[in-house]
Structure 1
Amino acid sequence: MSSRRDRWAQLTGGQAGEEYARRFARLAESGHDVHGEAAFCDALLKPAARILDAGCGTGRIAIRLTELGHCCTGVDVDASMLAVAGREAPTQEWLHGDLAHLDRLGLEPGFDLALAAGNVIPLLAPGTEAAVVRQLAAVLRPGGLLITGMGLDAEHLPLPEPTVTLDEFDHWCTQAGLTLRRRFATWAGDPYCSGGGYAVSVHHLPTA
């Protein structure tokens, strides 16, 4: 996320890592599938894909994708979340940085997939959303994918009201050279209907 006082930092004070990890551990222990995002991405990728988990949090998705044979780099501005990720998977690459300035992290371009799950886009600092989308598009190879999941109403957000519409998001993607491929209502692949409260979007960077 963005360090310019993003909405996540306003909600948590940048100290949510341990509690966030405990929450998903409880869900897993109760039998919930906590790997839906990773399974969704894996189904769209060739083996050993190169993945950027943008706003990776505690690393839950990136760690699972690595277990599935992919090469994942995680980036987040919340040091408390990255501390958990580094403890759980110390050999993976975890970078502390602002998604609006990915170019400052020295990332080698050519990623097969950039992932922004977990309401990353709605929780960015206001006014940085288009810049973040541009930065994510810039690290993709031609034909690479941007996959996002975001709440579109208060029921699907840790916020009292939505901060991003799909029209706005698609406009930012178009400006960044991305084309919408498909849209779903869940990470399980349920079809999206207009007006739905959650959207999983698959955009791609066209080949020349």
Structure 2
Amino acid sequence: MTSNERTPSGWEELTAADPAHSTWYVERFRKLAAEGTDIVGEARLIDAMLGRGSRVLDAGCGPGRIGGHLHGAGHTVVGVDVDPVLIEAARTDHPGPTWVVGDLAELDLPAQGIAAEFDVIVCAGNVMTFLAPATRTAVLSGFARHLAPTGRAVIGFGADRGYDFAEFLSDAESAGLTADLRLSTWDLRPFTDGSDFLVAVLSRAS
């Protein structure tokens, strides 16, 4: 691999091995929504952190369930995902936000004419664990660059998925982010040493 070649994410490797996976993933969430399943718990937490009309980046947005809900709540939403199938589903199912196909490791929204000052960056759905390990700090650094001065990044993922929580928090610090709060669920349960899920609320280091 040359220096100009990008490292594919775990998600890209998964969909390359199974080209139908993205379509299955889209239909899975459409089915859950149609059945009345609550699929926007993460979005409710983010909404509670914001004043009306805030700017939100849905990083690794998938088919748009979080960003779509936040747009409906009155926020300006930009969603980025590396998978064009998921972005097309987001555009179809959740019109209104700006949906962008892009690699989080190369995130540069101002270069695409999109302001970088986000009040919240939300990264849910175990997105961090699908990143190529070599790109994790680059992704977190991109989040720091795209935050407003008082903005926060909220990142959630599960244990035993190849990214140790302590390593993640160290990477975040290296990327210029400070962990202000750690939770074990999106419904505000406290994080403990035995927690099998982490929701980290981070801000730009002063």
- Scaled by the length of structure 2, the TM-score of the pair is 0.89
Matching residue of 2:190? 191
How high is the sequence identity, in percent, across the aligned residues?
Answer: 39
Shift of residue 173, structure 1, vs aligned partner: 1.4
Report the Cα distance in structure 1 between the residues aligned to 2:195 and 2:114, rounded to whole angstroms.
35
Report the Cα distance in structure 1 between the residues aligned to 2:113 and 2:20, rounded to whole angstroms.
26
Say if 2:71 and 2:96, in contact at 8 Å, map to a contact too: no
Return the match for 1:57 from 62, 68, 76.
62
Matching residue of 1:102? 107
Letter in 1 for 2:9: D
Say if 1:16 and 1:80, in contact at 8 Å, map to a contact too: no
Shift of residue 165, structure 1, vs aligned partner: 1.1
Matching residue of 1:115? 122
Matching residue of 1:21? 26
Alignment of structure 1 residues 138-177 onto 2, 5 Å = 138-153=145-160, 162-177=161-176
1:85 aligns with 2:90: yes
Report the Cα distance in structure 2 between the residues aligned to 1:126 and 1:172, rounded to whole angstroms.
11
Shift of residue 123, structure 1, vs aligned partner: 0.4
Structure 2: 5+ residue stretches without partners = 1-5
Report the Cα distance in structure 1 between the residues aligned to 2:20 and 2:76, rounded to whole angstroms.
28
Say if 2:124 and 2:155, in contact at 8 Å, map to a contact too: yes
Report the Cα distance in structure 1 between the residues aligned to 2:36 and 2:198, rounded to whole angstroms.
24
CA RMSD in angstroms comes to 1.7
- CA spacing shift, 1:195–1:107, aligned 2, 3 Å: farther
SS in structure 1 of the partner of residue 129 of structure 2: coil
Matching residue of 1:156? none
Say if 2:68 and 2:95, in contact at 8 Å, map to a contact too: no
SS in structure 2 of the partner of residue 87 of structure 1: helix
Shift of residue 106, structure 1, vs aligned partner: 4.5
Say if 2:80 and 2:102, in contact at 8 Å, map to a contact too: yes
Shift of residue 193, structure 1, vs aligned partner: 1.2
For residues 181-201 of structure 1, the C-alpha deviation after alignment (integer angstroms, 9 at most, x for no partner) is 111111111111113211111
Shift of residue 30, structure 1, vs aligned partner: 3.8
Report the Cα distance in structure 1 between the residues aligned to 2:133 and 2:165, rounded to whole angstroms.
16
Q: How many residues align?
A: 197
Return the match for 1:132 from 133, 139, 149.
139
Moved more, 197-206 or 123-132: 197-206
Higher relative contact order (CA 8 A, sep 6+): 1
Matching residue of 2:3? none
Letter in 1 for 2:132: A
